[in-house]
Amino acid sequence: MNLLASGVEAYASELQPLIPDHQNWCEAVVCAPYTSLQTALRAFADSRVSVGAQNMSEHDSGAYTGEVSGAQLKDIGVKYVIIGHSERREYYGETDKSVNKKILAAISNSLRPIVCVGESLDQRETGVTYDLVAMQVKAAFNGVSADLLRHIVIAYEPIWAIGTGKTATPEDAQDVCRAIRDVVRAIYSSAASRKISILYGGSMNDKNAFDLLAQPDIDGGLIGGASLKPVSFAAIVNAANQ
């Protein structure tokens, strides 16, 4: 919940020269607040930066005051949507079941869901990380056929490494991302597990991005605070390009 529409426009103007299209081979997505989505779409219209939303309803229409549907996002040109972010799960009571419904709604509206999974500090210290993340992935993909899997991106968010002073090493992140890929392989196939993109979302920044992105099962990052500064975000994009 950052930046007004005018701030998003200024942000885009500063970011685009830092990641010129002819030097950018990876896919960059900016997920703006609902009120700034159309501003972001206009600002990035002539660039390779895509625009996504931070959340969406599981319903396409109806008496759901205050909600925004996948159909409405698609209508204005949004391509991606974050689903099941740790803050949505913690503060707004989103569950694995509601996450699954939102994923199916997103796909039915030709949106690409960025599905977040991850464990808390207590859960990690209890030793249930792999079981928990596997359960979240299996629940998220319930009813998703193999041919639709290519539209989905998974983001691993170790909640314990966000704002706690604890740090996930590249090896920590790689271990869980590899486990996520193994779950996808078990549900679908080896081919499917190779094609799906797995992002790391635990405080990736311009200082640690290169080492994290060098890991074999980390295909990109879900960037939080570092994305608010165009120079920092551009450095992460450039790390991904390498």
All domains in the chain, ordered by first residue: 5-241 (3.20.20.70)
Which residues have C-beta within 8 Å of that of residue 182, sequence separation ≥ 6?
A: 193
User: DSSP character for 60?
Assistant: S
Per the CB < 8 A criterion, the answer to whether 94 and 65 are in contact is: no
Which residues have C-beta within 8 Å of that of residue 41, sequence separation ≥ 6?
A: 51, 76, 77, 78
Residue found by looking up tokens 């074999």 in the block = 216
Q: Is the pLDDT of residue 203 over 90?
A: no
Is 85 labeled as catalytic in the residue annotation?
yes
Dist. CA 113–CA 117, nearest whole Å? 13
Is 125 labeled as catalytic in the residue annotation?
no
Per the residue annotation, which of 9, 14, 85, 119 is the catalytic one?
85
Confidence class of residue 150 from pLDDT cuts 50, 70 and 90?
confident
User: DSSP character for 124?
Assistant: H
Q: Mean pLDDT over residues 56-84, rounded?
A: 98
Residue found by looking up tokens 């081979």 in the block = 25
Per the residue annotation, which of 59, 87, 157, 171 is the catalytic one?
157
Dist. CA 221–CA 201, nearest whole Å? 6
The predicted structure's pLDDT at residue 202: 86
The predicted structure's pLDDT at residue 188: 96
What is the identity of the amino acid at 185? R
The predicted structure's pLDDT at residue 167: 67
Query: What's the Rg (C-alpha) of the chain?
Result: 17
